[in-house]
Amino acid sequence: MGIDVRETKDGRREVFYNAEHQNLLDTSTDNKPHRQKAGSLAVASIFRRRKARGGDGDGNPFIYALKGLKRYSISDDQLWAFRPNFLSTLSAYMKEAPFDKIAPLPSSKPIARYVAKKAGRYQPEAQLDTHLFLKRSAAEVLADLEAKYEADEIPKKIKGEAAALISTLRKSQASSFAMKNVEQRLRDYIEPLVLAPGAPVAGHRILLVDDLFSSGATLRTAHRLLTEAGAIEVSALCLLSKV
């Protein structure tokens, strides 16, 4: 139960559900959710990404289509085909353990919030908190990265990438920071989030929700912030797994 991609005459790429194979994306309900780790944080994913031939292993046509990136698209009819398995796996996961809060990570796209809202239907007693985290500004990330660069905390093999990012951030300090523009191996040295001031998390069991498990850097940051603030248990759920 995977996906196909068809190129149109005008250069667009349309994504289709295919129940005959598991190319690019495994959407079956067998042995799901898929389990991985981001540091010490347990991460469950509803659908499992599969690496494309010749790809870098990070992106996926399905997530590109959901976000409207790289000229990918998917019709409502095709999206509906994913719904039964999505809900089946989500329901099974939400029966495993209770949560006090369900918190989607901040994003310019509504995918994580959608998954979090659907998860909340299976645990109506859990509070959906869409404002638990705030994105840091480019200026804040820049200050941290410059300090790590000067302290030689960044390995020599990626110092060139760090210097390029520093240069970019210096030109956009007033904007919010976006992790998607950062090279994978540099992400471990960046903390893109802060906990909202006065966020009531002490003693709570919290489920983090994100659209895509990639490097895990953002999830690890969120996990650390919640643990330091007194959360007693933190888990994570993503729509798509790490490859």
Residue range 2-43, pLDDT digits in tens: 999 999 888 899 999 999 998 999 999 988 999 999 999 999
Nearest to 175 by CA among 188, 192, 195, 151: 192
Tokens of 138: 């480019």
Mean pLDDT over residues 191-198, rounded? Answer: 92
Residue range 115-162, pLDDT digits in tens: 999 999 999 999 999 999 999 999 999 999 999 999 999 999 999 999
| 3-state per-residue secondary structure call for the chain | CEEEEEECCCCCEEEEEECCCCCCEECCCCCCCEEEEECCEEEEEEEEECCCCCCCCCCCHHHHHHHCCCCEECCHHHHHHHHHHHHHHHHHHHCCCCCCEEEECCCCCCHHHHHHHHHHHHCCCCEECCCCEEECEHHHHHHHHHHHHHCCCCCHHHHHHHHHHHHHHHCCCCCECCHHHCCHHHHHHCCCEEECCCCCCCCCEEEEEEEECCCCHHHHHHHHHHHHCCCCEEEEEEEECCC
Q: What is the pLDDT of residue 31?
A: 85
Whether the predicted pLDDT of 113 surpasses 70: yes
Q: What is the pLDDT of residue 172?
A: 86
Which pTM was predicted?
A: 0.89
Whether the predicted pLDDT of 201 surpasses 90: yes
Whether the predicted pLDDT of 55 surpasses 70: no
Residue range 59-102, pLDDT digits in tens: 789 999 999 988 999 999 999 999 999 999 999 999 999 999 99
N-term to C-term CA, the chain: 16
Amino acid in the structure at residue 111: I
The residue ranges of every structural domain in the chain are 2-134+194-240, 137-176
Q: What is the pLDDT of residue 57?
A: 53
2-134+194-240 architecture in CATH? 3-Layer(aba) Sandwich (3.40)
Whether the predicted pLDDT of 103 surpasses 80: yes
